[in-house]
Every structure is written in structure tokens, then in C-alpha cells.
Structure 1
Amino acid sequence: MPQNLGPYAGTNCQGATTNSSTTTVYNQPEIPSYQIKGSDTGSNVSTIPIDLEYMQDTQGEKIQSVVNATFEDGVVMESGRRGYLVVFGGFLTIMAFIGYVSVYGIFQSQYNEIYGAQGKSPSAVSFVGSLASGFQFGFTIFAGPIMHKFGYKVTLWSGAIISSLGLLLASWCTELWQVYLTQGVMFGIGASLLNLACTAVPPLWYNKNRGLAMGICFCGAGIGGLAFGFIIPALINAVNIYWTLRIFAIFHFVCTGFAAMVMRAPRQLAGPPLAKERDSLNLAILKDPGFMLWFLTAALYGFAYVIPFAYVPSYAKDVIGLDANVQGGQLLAIMSGANAVGRIIIGIAGDRLGPIPVAGFCFLAAGASCFVWMFAVTHAALIGFSVMYGFFSGAFFTMIASITANIVGLSNLGSGLTLVYIINTPGNLFTLPIAGKIYENTGSYKAMIGYNAAMYLGGGVLLFCLAFFNKYTKK
């Protein structure tokens, strides 16, 4: 019987022949393919498309690495233990840098006081977070070729050093433009390198349970946000914001440095690749209408995700009269904890029900939760919003690898992720200043929150259009 190739089946393939002992999938000429052993005896062999990656051998020479592994109950990996270590490394990295982003609102609240005294507006202060988020995704256009040329190890180590150094240098800044360059640009560039590598490596180890693996990796963002939501306010109160940045920079480097040591793509076990290397960025996938729907969804998501994480502490202070540092930090911690749980459950649901419809439902639910925030006038209502928004808002990051691979195939996963992150950049770069201007011009949070909801609802509609397209127009 033919093997179940999961997402590989029908991906960029022109046809297949089968017999009792062998299944061969014929790929388009430009897509590299490799032989994958189907059993311990090697009696069944399947040829599937896999991304190329460059590594170094023990003598330091560059070699071409491919995925040559056995199928074990829908999981593609060299060994279970190593695959789990890769996921754990991804978890630590994402906990460190996205967990920090999740509670950036605490830093922004402090900067509003520090630089507001120098005459800086809230929208000018919020541009620190926008620069970090914008470079995290926008620098992908350079991070992708860097990873393609130098491999995952160099990419991970570079990201760990640059992002940690950015946080450390920010602790000595005395002018807002200096914070732009360090906590904004430097941290964002390092986070871009880390993000791309941590999104690209784990999917190479898993097939059937890819959504669960990515859910575990990205739930680190929620775990980090939950812990940091309590720890960072306590540190600020105890030692001030500058020493808090120094302590966190050290912690960030320990987590990401460990991940850089343990994360790698599966090594080549036997035989050369059966086709030549492809270009590092395949723009032909932009001609796929399904990918363009996903592309536009990613663009809208960039304008949506970070707003509550940045403005909930300020909302708690201005509307309800809570302490932005203490209760505001706790709300972000609750939001992040729900985010961690949501990412795992969403990952499992995506494996079983399909990543696209699950992501579409989560987008609509996250948009609906914004209306709870819009009319929240009590601490309890804000807690309810934090739980609901936190649970559903992380679907994009959990499903990004599965949805992209579903549309363009694993052979083009690197190109797909690069393009999705690039289109995500404008929103991450400008959404906080836009939100700040909306608030400044209206004098109310309601219009700003409505803008946030519209981005999510628009993305949800596009995802259901994509699900419809896949079901009724693709064979």
C-alpha cells in the first residue's frame, strides 16, 4: 500500500505510480527531491520535495544537507530525542524574544513618563515598539538569504547576539532616538533572524504533528509573557527600568544561545540530492491565488496583533483607574498565559481540522473579543478580554508554517515564509503610531479598538475565502 505522505501528497507533483513495494512521487523538475526510507528494512522508498540547507561538516567544509529520515507514525525525524530538543530550543527562543514583545506595554508605560517629561508624544514613544516589530518581520528579506547562505547555526547565533546587545545598550540610553536604534532597530534585526530560523527548523522534523510541534514552540511566547508580566514590574519597582533591561538582556542571551547550540536541521544520512539547488527566493508562488489570499491576511494581521499588548496597561490606568505597572502587567500576564494555552490547543485543532479554517475562526474570535475591550469599564471585564484575546490571537504564528506549506509545499516553505513575514512588516512598523494618532485625535480608546477589530475580522474573512478556494477550485 502507498504510504501516507500527509502534506507532501499532491504538493507540487505531476503524478505518481505505485506498486506493492514502492511508491514514487514525481516532482516538477525545478524542485529538489530526496529518497526517504519507509521502513526499517528499506523496502518502501518515497521521493518527496524538501528544502535545501547548508551546514558545515566536522572539518568546517560547507556541505549540502538534506532531510533523509524514516516515517514513524506520521512523524519525520532522525530520532525522537533530537526532534524534541529542537522543539525545546524553539520554545526557549520564542519565550525570550516574543515573550518580551508581549509585555512591551510595561516598558512603553515607563517610557511615556520618562520621555513625556522631555516633551515627547505617546505616538513618538510607541514608535520604539513599532521599529522592533517592523524590523522583526521586514528584515526577513535579508534574514532569508543569510540563512540560505550560512545555515541555521550562523543565523541563530547572530540573532542571539544582536538582539541581546540591543536590549543591553538600551539600558544606557538617555535620548529617545537612542532607544529607537537599540531597543527598536537592533533588537528587531536580531529577533528577525531568530524568528525565521525557529519557524523554519521544527517543520523539517515533523509531518503529521507539525501543528502541535509549532504550537509548543510558539506557546513559549505566552509562557514568557505570563512570567514576565509579573517579573518585569517587580524588577522595575525594585531596581528601576535600566537594570531591568540589563538583567533581561542576560536572560535573553542565555535562552537564545542555548537554542543556537541545540537547534539544527536533520543531517544527510545517505546519498546526494537528486536535483540541483533552487534559488533562495521563489517569487513564482505569488502567482498562486491561494497564496495571495494568505499574503493579504498576513498584511492585515500585522496591523492587529500588538495593539492590545501595548495599550491594555494604559487603558487600565486611564479608563478604570488601575496601576499601569502592577495591574496592567498582571493583565498582560493573563493575556500571555491564555495565549500559551491557546497556541497548543489551536495547533492540535489545526492538525485535525485543517490549519486554514481553524485560523479563520480564531481571527474572527479575536476580532470579536475587541468589542469586549471596547466597552470594558471594570477590572473583571478587562480580565475577560485578556483571556479571550490571548487565547485566539496567536493563531497566525502557530499556523504560519502549516498554512504556508499547505499552499506552496515544503519545497517552497522558506520562500513562502520570507514573503509572508515581509508583507507583515508595514503593519508591525506603523500600527502602534497609527493607534496612538487615532487615540490622540479622538481622545477615546473606542475608535482605536475598532480599528484593531477591523483588521482581525478582515483577516478572518480572507482565510475563509482561502478555505473555500482550496476546497472548490483545487483538485
Structure 2
Amino acid sequence: MGPPATPTDDAPASRDPPSPPLASPPRTRSSTHSYPPRSAPVERPVPPLEPPDRGKAAYLFLLGAFSIETVVWGLPSSYGLFLEYYQREGVNGHAASSSLLPLVGTVSSGAIYLLGPPISFLLNPRPRWRLNIIRAGALICSLSLLLSSFATAPWQLLLTQGLLYSIGGAMAYYSTFYYLQEWYVERRGFANGVCFAGTAAGGLVLPFILQALLEKYGAATTLQALSVSTFVLLGAALPLVRPRLPLPPKSADMRHEKKEEDPPREDRAVVDEPSRPQQPEKVTAKRLFKNIKLWVFLAANIGQAFGYFVTLLYLPTYASAVGLSGAEGSALLASVNGACVLSRVAMGVLSDKHSPHRLGFGTMLASSVAVLILWGVASTSLPPLLVFSIVLGLAAGGWTSLYSSIINSVVRDDPALASHLFSTLSFTRGLGALLVAPISTALIAHPLHGASAHTAYGAAGGKYGGVVLFAGLAMGVAAGCEAVEALLH
């Protein structure tokens, strides 16, 4: 502590026996060592994140997700037209077994639902794979349609237009949904509603296009045209679909990354948020098996799938059986899907503010009444069938938009866990979609006798009576489950 002039001379001497020249190296050393610390943070906290819920980037992502949903789900929702064509014309001129053909449509949609859990388990620990999985899925969808155009037997259609298409669709679909949880937080119900409306939008436009192509060019050329358009449309949507949160810095197994990245967690909390797979997956399993309310909703989910998918599957063939043209059958399917577009957006917005179970109860009750009375009793000509189609789309079409609110009631702000729960909901819906084919085939084989031919129960010799009853009662069961849920909440 002496006079101010001497400390600089005394300090080095008192600290280190070596002579003063050492005074300069420390400075150069400290100056050279100052660079790495400054360049090491080039691992920076991350550039500013795009804001969720609003803004150009969020809306562009939603456009891309909507486009993928429209393309991936549009074809399975319109398979009823292919079914009617195959039953009438055969598969590339070869006679077709009617028992396998309905299964093609239910597999193309149902297997997408069923593949949710395996894709979730595969990708939650490996977030860096997601974009490549979306790209590969888009390619597989296009390839499956091309291959199906060369099919000459129903089993070949089952493998290509059914199973292979669903694998590609699931790969593109579930990864996109994962990113949706990052881009939308407060308005998640709205975003899901818009995204799910893509399914209906595809079903609104495609029936008219498919009907015209099938009648003019046949199934093979139609499928080839679909293959090319699927490749182009999905390719255009892919650049818009990207994560909002930064990906982990390495592509190594996330188990190892988790251990290595735990220390600097304070300033990287945002970075690590989407990649915390291990704990959420265990919690999900516990909640799935212990949360009674969730199980009741899963039962309602299967009931809704039974009623909704069997109606979509057989509406065009029923229309043909009561004397309507192929174009009129397409108009019925388009009416259902057009109403679904409005219903899904509206239900998404409402589910952000109101109980999803009360909404589910009201819509399922209305759907059950519509099927049993509007279709069952009143619909053997075009005008009442059009009314029924619109009511069904408005009432039953918005069901999947409730998923976001259901998930938020179990878990919040964890994309990996939300993805796992969404895949579980999709899996149970897929069970309903897949089981519809064998159940409806058995019902068609046993006509309903004694009903008036002026009702759907007795039209075409009672062939569709069992299907109408099954669809209406299944939705009634879903309404009952949702009534229980509303009371439990």
C-alpha cells in the first residue's frame, strides 16, 4: 500500500522473484487469453427467437402445416370415390373383391393414426431428425400413389394406396404437429383448428377433381396425376415448416447430450426446452394409465371415429344405390368436408375459451341425431342428403380440434410430452378408423329387413340400414362419454 508511484514497481518484485520483464508477458498473455473467452461464446445464447402465436413467421408456418395436412389427409378423406369406382370398374380392368376394397381407405387413414406413438417414441429423443423425416414422408406419399397406379388386385392397392401411403403421411404429419406446439402457445386451439381444417379443405376440393379424372381417364392415370401433384404441393410447403426453438448443438443421442448440457442450463433453458424426452415419456405413461378422465375421452374418441368414418366411407356408395349420379355423390362428400372446414376452425377457437367436453357432448349428440333421423329417416334423395351432409360436417367435423385443449388440460408447455399425448389420441382414433372396415362389411352382408324402402334403413333392400344404425349409435356413445367427462370436470 505505499505511495501511488511505487506500487507498480514493487508489486511485481514482491509477487515474483523473476525480474520485471515478466510484467509484460502477463499482459500479452492476458490479452491473448482474452480472445478465446470472447470467441468461445460464439456458441452464443441463440439469436432472438421468433415470437409465438403471431407474426409473419408463425403465420407462414401455419400455412405450411395447413398445406401438409390438406395433401396428406385429403386423399384418404375422399377414398369413397375410389371405392365406388373400383367396385364398379374393377382394378385396372380386373374384377375386385369388395371385402378388401373398403380396407384400403381405412388403412390409408387409420394407419396414419396408429403410427403416431412409434413415430413419437422415435423422434422425441432425436429432434434433429424431424425435418428429414418430413421430407422422406412427402417422397413416400408421392411414390405410393405412383405404385398404386400399376396395381391389378385389391391386395396391391392395400399395400400401396393404403399402407405405404399411410407410412409416408404419418412421417410428414406428426413431425409437423410437434413444431406446431412450439409456434403456438396461447392460441394453440386456433392453430390446431386451422391446421386440421386442411383435412376438410382437401376433402372439399378433391371429390370434384377425382370424380372428373376417374370418369375421363380411369384410376391409373388419376393416381399418377395425384402422385405428381402431391410431390409438387408438399415440396412447396416444406420450406415453410421449421422449428421455432433452436435445435441441440450435436446430432448425438439425446441421452448423452442431456448429461453434457445440464451444467450450462441457466442460459440455455430455452434451447433445451424441446429436447427433454426421457422424463416426459415416463410421465405420459403414468398419466395415460392413471388419469381416468383421459381414458373416458379415449373411449369417446373411438366412438366418434366409428360413426364418422363409416359415414364418410359409405355415403357415396349409398348415394349411388338410391339412384344418384357420381357427381351428386361427390357433391355430398364435398358438402361434408366444406362444413368441416368451418367447424374445425370454430371448434379450435372455442376450445381455447370453453370446456372441450361440453363442446364434445353437444356436437356428438347433434351428430347422433343427424345420422339416425336426417340420414336414417329422411334421406333417400339429393336435397335431404345435402342437408344431412352439411349438418354432419358442422357437428362431427370439428372433433379433432378439441385435441389441443384436451392435451393442455393434462400437460402444458412441453412439446415432447404434448406430441406423445397427441399420438395417443390419434392411435385410439385410428383403431376406430381401422375397425370400421370389417364391421361395416359384416353389416352390409346382413341387410336390415322390414324397414320402409323410403328410408335409409330400408333403401336398396335394407343394405345400408345396419351401417346407419351403427354410425348413429356410435356417436351417441361418444356423446354419453363426453357427458360423463363434463360432469367429472
TM-score computed with the length of structure 1 as normaliser:
0.78
Displacement of 1:120: 4.1
Note if contact 1:66-1:266 (Cα within 8 Å) is conserved in structure 2.
no
Residues 232 and 119 (structure 1), Cα distance of their counterparts in 2 relative to 1, 3 Å cut: closer
Displacement of 1:70: 8.2
Q: 2:65 aligns with which of 81, 86, 90?
A: 90
| Structure-2 separation of matches of 1:343 and 1:297 | 18
Q: Determine the structure 1 residue equivalent to 2:340.
A: 339
Q: Determine the structure 1 residue equivalent to 2:463.
A: 444
Displacement of 1:469: 1.8
The number of equivalent residue pairs is: 400
Residues 190 and 85 (structure 1), Cα distance of their counterparts in 2 relative to 1, 3 Å cut: same
Note if contact 1:108-1:126 (Cα within 8 Å) is conserved in structure 2.
yes
Note if contact 1:155-1:193 (Cα within 8 Å) is conserved in structure 2.
yes
Displacement of 1:221: 1.7
Which structure's residues are more often helix, by fraction? 2
Letter in 2 for 1:378: S
Q: Determine the structure 2 residue equivalent to 1:365.
A: 366
User: Per-residue CA shift, 1:362-401, capped at 9, x if unaligned?
Assistant: 2222222112111211210100111011112222221212
Gaps of 5+ in 1: 1-62, 471-475
| Structure-2 separation of matches of 1:389 and 1:433 | 23
Helix, strand or coil for the counterpart of 1:326? helix
| Structure-2 separation of matches of 1:151 and 1:360 | 39
| Structure-2 separation of matches of 1:83 and 1:272 | 22
Residues 305 and 256 (structure 1), Cα distance of their counterparts in 2 relative to 1, 3 Å cut: farther
Instruction: Give yes or no for the alignment of 1:378 onto 2:353.
Output: no
Q: Determine the structure 2 residue equivalent to 1:278.
A: 277
Q: Determine the structure 1 residue equivalent to 2:477.
A: 458
Instruction: Give yes or no for the alignment of 1:300 onto 2:299.
Output: no
Segment of structure 1 superposing worse, 329-338 or 253-262: 253-262
Letter in 2 for 1:284: K
Note if contact 2:58-2:183 (Cα within 8 Å) is conserved in structure 1.
yes
Segment of structure 1 superposing worse, 139-148 or 222-231: 139-148
Runs of 4+ that moved beyond 6 A: 65-68
| Structure-2 separation of matches of 1:352 and 1:166 | 41
Displacement of 1:183: 0.3
Instruction: Give yes or no for the alignment of 1:221 onto 2:240.
Output: no
Displacement of 1:251: 1.5
Displacement of 1:310: 1.4
Q: Determine the structure 2 residue equivalent to 1:434.
A: 439
Q: Determine the structure 1 residue equivalent to 2:315.
A: 312
Displacement of 1:236: 1.4
Letter in 1 for 2:267: G
Instruction: Give yes or no for the alignment of 1:212 onto 2:231.
Output: no
Helix, strand or coil for the counterpart of 2:421? helix
Q: Determine the structure 2 residue equivalent to 1:29.
A: none
Residues 255 and 357 (structure 1), Cα distance of their counterparts in 2 relative to 1, 3 Å cut: farther
Displacement of 1:66: 11
| Structure-2 separation of matches of 1:135 and 1:429 | 7
Q: Determine the structure 2 residue equivalent to 1:258.
A: 236
Identity %, equivalent residues: 25
| Structure-2 separation of matches of 1:449 and 1:311 | 10
Q: Determine the structure 1 residue equivalent to 2:179.
A: 201
| Structure-2 separation of matches of 1:432 and 1:335 | 20
| Structure-1 separation of matches of 2:161 and 2:299 | 28
Displacement of 1:133: 2.1
Segment of structure 1 superposing worse, 377-386 or 252-261: 252-261
Instruction: Give yes or no for the alignment of 1:355 onto 2:331.
Output: no
| Structure-2 separation of matches of 1:454 and 1:198 | 34
Note if contact 1:130-1:433 (Cα within 8 Å) is conserved in structure 2.
no
Displacement of 1:121: 4.0
Note if contact 1:233-1:329 (Cα within 8 Å) is conserved in structure 2.
yes
Displacement of 1:292: 1.4
| Structure-2 separation of matches of 1:386 and 1:267 | 41
Q: 1:243 aligns with which of 214, 221, 224?
A: 221
Note if contact 1:136-1:189 (Cα within 8 Å) is conserved in structure 2.
yes
| Structure-1 separation of matches of 2:392 and 2:360 | 14
Displacement of 1:69: 5.6
Q: Determine the structure 1 residue equivalent to 2:114.
A: 138
Displacement of 1:447: 1.5
Segment of structure 1 superposing worse, 308-317 or 120-129: 120-129
Displacement of 1:423: 2.1
Letter in 2 for 1:469: L
Segment of structure 1 superposing worse, 149-158 or 111-120: 111-120
Displacement of 1:118: 5.4
The correspondence of residues 63-82 of structure 1 with structure 2, limited to 5 A, is: 76-77=52-53, 80-82=55-57
| Structure-1 separation of matches of 2:47 and 2:444 | 50
Note if contact 1:236-1:244 (Cα within 8 Å) is conserved in structure 2.
yes
Residues 295 and 230 (structure 1), Cα distance of their counterparts in 2 relative to 1, 3 Å cut: same
Segment of structure 1 superposing worse, 199-208 or 96-105: 199-208
Residues 69 and 356 (structure 1), Cα distance of their counterparts in 2 relative to 1, 3 Å cut: farther
Letter in 1 for 2:445: E
Larger radius of gyration: 2
Note if contact 1:374-1:445 (Cα within 8 Å) is conserved in structure 2.
no
Letter in 1 for 2:101: V
